[in-house]
A and B are shown apart, each in its own frame.
Chain A
Amino acid sequence: MSPPDSPASDEALLEVKDLVVDYRTRHEIIRAVSGVSFSISRGETLGLVGESGCGKSTTGRSVTLVQRPTSGSVVFAGTELTTLAPSRLRQERTKMQMVFQDPISSLNPRRRILDIVAEPLNIWQIGSPEDRLEKAAQMLEAVGMDPGESGHRRPQEFSGGQCQRISIARALILRPLLLVCDEPVSALDVSVQAQILNLLHDLKHEYSLTMLFIAHDLAVVKNASDRVAVMYLGRICEVAPSELLYEEPQHPYSAALLASIPDPDPRSLRDGAPLTGDLPSPADPPSGCRFRTRCPHAQPLCEQVEPPLEEIAPGHLVACHFPEATRHA
């Protein structure tokens, strides 16, 4: 077991390069993710933030290959996943599990909790049927549920927070290396949200997990992550250690996201204009910088040239022609 908050090792567990995911609708092809690259070191939590429709959930699903990427590479623990044969992929995928946003839709309404949590062991025929139930009960206990009292009940008898605990138990029973959490707390009340965030934090250390934590709320992401990647309209526009991103956001979009968080603490009031308007359609993204249509600092250059994601300080990458630091200089 690693000590709490141990610095992540440098070895990358997951390396994503030039990931592109297209959705085909009746009339058009929508590029939900258009060229996303990032890596996550062993033991690290990478946060992925952005508005709905920015492609963050699609990225999460493509990383586990539940959604097939159109192009790009996903290297997990040294194995290229996109070219694997289906049977090998099925096996490889068990080392990366997901927790979803909607706690109710994540669980089969017709099955008992204990069976839901034991299902991964059933699929892979691990241990005897009694062992599997025993293990499932232990896992339920690890996420703070009483297996004796709740194991034989069905999902609809539980609250959103409890369903999310059950989802987490199911995801962890095969001892995965990577946990992809897709908005795990955004459907929950704030009081329950804190319970789940604390639980994920504890389990991360207990099971030496690496995490991809997807959310739209920057405060939640900051609490959970070591590093944060900000996504806008299918592209990553800023990556930085979470403290740094909060102290000195370089991309105007990151600054706007920070400004829109409701915070009861009067000391943390920041300036920065909240965003106006909606996300443009990913079927027809703006030319040049994708954020320019909502950017308070947009210049003619932004319309013509798409800014590349460049390292402006160690570990701090920004895709902006006029990052905050240069604007004030």
Chain B
Amino acid sequence: MPDSQKRLGPLFWICLGFIGLVVFGAIFANVLPLPNPDAQNYAAVNAGPSLHHLLGTDDLGRDLLSRIVFGSRVSLVVGFGGIAIGLAIGGTLGLVAGYRSGALDTVLNAGSFVILAFPPLLAIIVIVAFWGRSLPKLTLIIGIASIPSMFRVIRATTMSYANRDFVVAARALGASNRRIIFRELLPNVAPAAISFALIGVAIIVVLEGSLAFLGLSVALPTPSWGNIIYEGASNNNLQTNPFIALWPALAMFLLLTSLNLVGDRLRSYFDVREGGL
């Protein structure tokens, strides 16, 4: 494993802890002692943080903490699910194309350029507008949109290893192409892929926020971080109760920072330093 002198550092564990907390909340939101996120309470509209409502309530008197916890489900499903799709398809194609090069690589590479030439947000808006915006559809669309960039990153990383002598040696030993890709190349490509995927999740979480502002995230009143911020920024809420937008924005900011830092630290932790002194 990486040498003993390398450390992930306490900040890494704090950030990983925060990501874990968000994921835990999203999974167990139903079981946790949280009020119904859609329950409106006109007796406590725009309440500040209190024991009853830890983060206060919004302009319809809904509990903000509860909405943020439930809303994280959308952000996380879209983020991790979308990247999983991108990684599964784009990553696999990238591995194969980077290893084989030749005609297949040329075709896939050209294809990825064509797709990347479309502004992704515009493409997503058009598709979502025509096809609908349920959570699975949103995830699938964003996942497909992330395929070309995953493909390019994995392909480039694979190529930097594919011409090394250990790959030639494996071929000379009679290893099949599949074996070379999975046993020799994948372990070397994986750290970069994981790090890039975590940053990809962060990008998608922001993307969901942007879509919400265009009214194209999951349908209201289902809470998502984007939706909550959008509601917090409309109807003069920013003046009357800035907390509605502030809390989900803060949650998003912390999650993005954590994902980026964890991805970055993991990459340098698994980076093999070649050569001696």
Cross-interface CB contact of B188 among A94, A97, A104, A108, cutoff 8 Å: A108
Residues of B within 8 A of A (CB): 1, 3, 164-166, 168-176, 179, 183-184, 187-188, 272-276
Most buried by A among B1, B174, B175, B273: B174
Query: Once the chains bind, are A156 and B171 in contact (CB under 8 Å)?
Result: no
Q: What CA separation (Å) do A94 and B171 show in the bound complex?
A: 9
Q: In the bound complex, do residue A104 and residue B184 qualify as a contact, i.e. CB atoms below 8 Å apart?
A: no
A-B contact pairs, 28 of them (CB 8 A): A64-B172, A66-B172, A90-B174, A90-B176, A91-B174, A93-B173, A98-B169, A100-B168, A101-B165, A104-B274, A104-B275, A106-B164, A107-B166, A108-B166, A109-B272, A110-B187, A110-B272, A111-B187, A119-B170, A119-B175, A123-B173, A123-B179, A154-B1, A156-B272, A156-B273, A159-B276, A171-B169, A174-B173
Chain A interface secondary structure, helix, strand, loop or mixed? loop
Chain A residues closer than 8 Å to B164, beta-carbon distance = 105-106
Tell yes or no: A237 within 8 A of B by CB. Answer: no
Q: A93-B174, A94-B174 known; A109 and B169 CB under 8 Å?
A: no
In whole angstroms, how far apart are the Cα atoms of A136 and B175 in the complex? 17
Instruction: Give chain B residues whose Cβ lies under 8 Å from the Cβ of A177.
Output: none
Which one of A61, A91, A170 has the greatest number of beta carbons of chain B within 10 Å?
A170
Interfacial chain B residues near A170, Cβ < 8 Å = 169, 173
Interface centre among B1, B173, B183, B188 (most CB of A within 10 A): B173
Q: Which residues of A contact B166 (CB under 8 A)?
A: 105-108
Known: A93-B172, A98-B172, A120-B173. A105 touches B165 (CB 8 A): yes
Task: Please give, as numbers and ranges, the residues of chain A lying within 8 Å of B172 by CB-CB distance.
Answer: 64, 66, 93, 96-98
Residues of chain B lying within 8 A (CB to CB) of residue A174: 173
Which residues does chain A contribute within 8 Å of B274, judged by CB atoms?
104, 109, 156
Measured in the bound complex, the distance between the Cα atoms of B175 and A97 in whole Å is 13
Rounded to whole Å, the gap between the CB of A214 and the closest CB of chain B is 13
Of the residues A91, A106, A124, A156, contact of B165 by C-beta under 8 Å = A106
Q: Name the residue in B169, B184, B188, B272 with the highest tally of chain A Cβ atoms < 10 Å from its Cβ.
A: B169
Q: How far, in Å, is A101 (CB) from chain B's closest CB? A: 8
**A107-B166, A109-B274 given; 19 more Cβ-contact pairs under 8 Å:** A64-B172, A66-B168, A66-B172, A90-B174, A90-B176, A93-B173, A94-B173, A97-B173, A101-B165, A105-B166, A110-B188, A119-B170, A119-B175, A123-B175, A154-B1, A154-B272, A156-B273, A156-B275, A157-B3
Question: Does A102 touch B at the CB level, under 8 Å?
Answer: yes
Closest to B171 in A: A66
Which one of B165, B174, B187, B276 contacts A100 once the chains associate, using CB atoms below 8 Å? B165
Chain B residues positioned under 8 Å from A157 (CB to CB): 3
Expressed in whole angstroms, the Cα–Cα distance for A21 and B249 within the complex equals 61
Q: Once the chains are docked, how many angstroms separate the CA of A265 from the CA of B95?
A: 52
A72 to chain B, nearest CB (A): 19
Q: List B contacts of A110 (CB < 8 A).
A: 187-188, 272
Q: Check if A109 sits within 8 Å of B168, measured CB to CB.
A: no
Closest 10 CB pairs of A and B: A100-B165, A106-B165, A110-B187, A109-B272, A90-B174, A105-B164, A120-B173, A108-B166, A105-B165, A94-B174
Choice from A61, A94, A111, A120 contacting B168 with Cβ under 8 Å: A61
Contacts A108-B184, A109-B272, A156-B272 given: A124-B174 contact, CB under 8 Å?
yes
Type the 1/0 row for A107-146, where 1 means its CB is closer than 8 Å to any CB of B: 1111100000001100110000000000000000000000
A67 vs chain B, min Cβ distance (A)? 9
Contacts of B183 in A (CB 8 A): 119
Chain A residues contacting B173 (CB-CB under 8 Å) are 93-94, 97, 119-120, 123, 170, 174
A203–B212 CA distance with the chains assembled, in angstroms: 69
Report Cα–Cα, A170/B165, bound state, in Å. Answer: 13
Contact residues in B for A119 (Cβ distance below 8 Å)? 170, 173, 175, 183
Which B residues lie within 8 Å of A124 (CB)?
Answer: 174
Say yes or no: A123 contacts B174, CB within 8 Å: yes
Say yes or no: is A167 at the interface (Cβ < 8 Å to chain B). yes
| A112 nearest CB neighbor, chain B only | B1
Give, as a whole number of angstroms, the nearest-CB distance from B244 to chain A: 48
Q: Which residues does chain B contribute within 8 Å of A156, judged by CB atoms?
A: 272-275
Give the chain A neighbours of B170 by CB distance below 8 A.
Answer: 119, 123
Cα separation A86 to B73 with both chains bound (whole Å): 50
Q: What is the minimal beta-carbon distance from B189 to any residue of chain A, in angstroms?
A: 10
State how many angstroms separate the Cβ of B71 from the closest Cβ of chain A: 39
Min distance, Cβ A210 to any Cβ of chain B, angstroms: 16
Taken together as a complex, chains A and B put the C-alpha atoms of A119 and B166 apart, in Å, by: 11
Contact present for A109 and B188 (CB under 8 Å): yes
CB-CB nearest in chain A for B163: A105
Hey, which chain B residues are within 8 Å of A107, CB to CB?
Answer: 166
Q: How far is the CB of B224 from chain A (nearest CB, A)?
A: 39
Tell me the bound Cα distance from A93 to B172 in angstroms.
6
Q: Which residues of B contact A108 (CB under 8 A)?
A: 166, 184, 187-188
CA distance A94 to B170 in the complex (A): 10
